[in-house]
Amino acid sequence: MTDNAWTRWPSPEALGRAGLSRPRRLIGWSVRVVVGAALLWGALSSRHVHLWGAVAAVAGVLVAAVVARGFFRTTLAQRLWPSLGLLAVLIGLAVAFRAGNLTVPALVIWCACAVAALERLPLAAAAPVSALSLTAYALFGNGNWFTTAATTIGLALAGYVLRLDAEARGGALRLLAQERAARVAEAESAALAERARIAREIHDVLAHSLSAQLVHLEAARLLIERGADRDQILERVVAARGMARDGLAETRQALSALRGELTPLEDFLSELVRENATAEVTVSGDRRPLPAEASQAVRRVAQEALTNIRKHASGAKVHIRLDYGEHEVRLCVRDSGGTPGELAGSGGGYGLLGMRERAELLGGSLEAGPHEEGFAVTLKVPV
């Protein structure tokens, strides 16, 4: 046994009453009642005690009860010297009882001190206190040597078993508290992750829709400033209105995604390029439903890539390829190159950066750069 084991207090959970079942509480109170009754009976049943002696004996029993309660409180606070002082008072009371020919109360207090010390004190302090109490019990007990030895050993074992039982209960309570704390932390983390996911969805939908509307509205403004004809301006305004309508549809779709209701990915991509005659979609691999986060990442990257193509390569041919792999899904959006739009310099350039961060959160990657005559965006997401 290490020095640490000798000087270590039983845990606060072991010393307290938390986690005690109702039957154990009843047993504990029953033991206290029996001990108290034994003290009173021993103090009042002796033929050597007269009226004032009986009063003094009862007062001594009451003092012993108060001191014992104080001992339980000081050990719960893990205060060594006050605890030892209170035990010394109890042992002194037992000596006083024995000096007054009240042997039963003295023996009961000595036994209780031995058991309580082993149960509630560090072993380095409990061992000498218990040895002193049991020695006094053995010296002043009325039984034969065999009975006294068996009782002494039994009391020592009972105190240590109670200590082990309390430590086991304390360990179980600590594990339960840690498990509850872990569950609370996990719930908070899940709530924060869900909030972050909702924020990303709302941001991505609004950023895509509003930036597309901004392109057309700004173009309409420039056309008005240049004195363009009415049809050109109207075309831009109608396009902006269409983007607003599409943005509303995307918002509804994002809300459906948050509820776990997603349209098939292939249908979404086909709908995305429906009005672009120069765009085509190719799907390969074993088609299957994807996790919500992976599916949303593919959708948002496709949207952002098409928005960039409209801004920087107007009129380019677009090829979208979706490949279902065994362990990942791969999306590639390529354009053939084209002339920059009127608002090619607008925007902060954070769209693909946000998509890259989304991919990395899922353990995937996003690459964007020149490809042949145009530009390519490639997303890989593990599934």
Q: What is the mean pLDDT of each successive set of 10 residues along the chain, which is 383 residues long?
A: 70 73 68 68 58 67 84 88 90 83 80 87 88 85 78 86 83 84 85 72 69 80 84 83 74 65 78 78 87 82 83 83 91 83 50 78 88 87 87
Q: Is residue 244 part of a domain?
A: no
What is the tally of structural domains in the chain? 2
Rounded to 5°, the CA angle 283-284-290 comes to: 80
Contact between 11 and 170 (Cβ < 8 Å) = yes
Q: Which of 115, 142, 169 is the last residue of a domain?
A: 142
Q: Which of 142, 162, 192 is the last residue of a domain?
A: 142
How far is 197 from 362, CA to CA, in rounded Å?
12
pTM for the model stands at 0.47
pLDDT value of position 380: 92
Q: Which of 93, 126, 142 is the last residue of a domain?
A: 142
pLDDT value of position 1: 42
How far is 337 from 231, CA to CA, in rounded Å?
27
pLDDT value of position 332: 93
Q: In 141-153, which positions are buried (b, 16+ CB within 10 angstroms) versus exposed (e)?
A: beeeeeebeebbe
pLDDT value of position 166: 81
Query: Tokens standing for 327?
Result: 């362990």
H-type alpha helices, the chain: 3-7, 12-15, 22-44, 51-76, 80-99, 103-120, 123-140, 145-225, 230-258, 265-272, 292-312, 351-361
Q: Is residue 345 part of a domain?
A: yes
Q: Is residue 340 part of a domain?
A: yes
Q: Starting at the earlier edge strand, list the strands of the sheet with 328-335.
A: 279-285, 318-324, 328-335, 374-382, 365-371
Q: Is residue 24 part of a domain?
A: yes
Q: What 3-state class would DSSP assign to 292?
A: helix
CATH code (residue 301): 3.30.565.10
Q: Is residue 210 part of a domain?
A: no
Q: Is residue 334 part of a domain?
A: yes
pLDDT value of position 106: 82
Domain with 306 in it: 265-383
Unique residue bearing structure tokens 């050597």 = 48
- Residue 54 burial (CB < 10 Å; 0-12/13-18/19+)? middle
How far is 247 from 345, CA to CA, in rounded Å?
22
pLDDT value of position 296: 80
Of 105, 132, 96, 107, nearest to 117 by C-alpha is 132
Q: Which residues contact 86 (CB under 8 A, 6 or more apart)?
A: 67, 68, 70, 71, 74
Q: How far is CA 370 from the centre of its chain?
A: 45
Mutual angle of helices 103-120 and 80-99, in 10-degree steps: 160
Q: Is residue 116 part of a domain?
A: yes
Q: How far is CA 103 from the centre of its chain?
A: 56
| Helical (H) or strand (E) element with 381 | strand 374-382
Q: Is residue 293 part of a domain?
A: yes
